[in-house]
Structure 1
Amino acid sequence: MPRAGLTPATVVREAAVLADEVGYDRLTLAALAGRLGVALPSLYKHVRGVDALHQKLAVLAAAELADVLTTAAAGRAGADALRA
């Protein structure tokens, strides 16, 4: 049974924070498990592996970028929206 409060979304968000701290290329499932206070095999209940985690991080980054761009362009039109 997954640890209470630990979901795929929380795993990915914490992985993003860890990647920002140690570098994306140094992000490991073992380091993430330690940070979350779970055994490494427990992470596999939330992500299928490091490749799946990287894919989920890419989706998160794209969503965050879309939010920033949407906010910057809100209420603007044409070239003004592009510059924002």
Structure 2
Amino acid sequence: MGRVGLSTERLTRAGAELADEVGFDQVTVSALARQFDVKVASLYSHVRNSQDLRTRIALLALEELADRGAAALAGRAGKDALSALAN
């Protein structure tokens, strides 16, 4: 069983915040373990490795981008939609 309070989603969101601070390429399972003050092995029940973590962060970013795009486009068409999406 994983450490109480840790989940794949929580680690992914924390990894995304870390990427904002230090850069996407600097996000590693080790860096995240330090942030949560746990051993690296504690995170491996939630993510496979640093690449898996970065993939999950990228997918989260794409989901957020899609949500923002959908909100910007709601009820708009044509040039108005294109302008709203660009903004």
Q: Same fold (TM over 0.5)?
A: yes
- Determine the structure 1 residue equivalent to 2:82: 82
Using CA pairs below 8 Å that are at least 6 residues apart, which structure has the higher relative contact order? 2
- Determine the structure 2 residue equivalent to 1:69: 69
Q: TM-score, normalized by length of structure 2?
A: 0.89
Q: For this pair of structures, how many residues does the alignment match?
A: 84
Identity of aligned residues (%): 50
- Determine the structure 1 residue equivalent to 2:40: 40
Q: Encode CA deviations 1:23-64: one digit per residue, 9 max, x unaligned.
A: 112112111001122110111010000111111111101001
RMSD: 1.0
Unaligned regions of 5+ residues in structure 1, if any? Answer: none
- 1:1-84 to structure 2, matched below 5 A, reads 1-84=1-84
Q: TM-score, normalized by length of structure 1?
A: 0.92
C-alpha deviation, 1:77, in angstroms: 1.3
Unaligned regions of 5+ residues in structure 2, if any? Answer: none
Moved over 6 A (4+): none
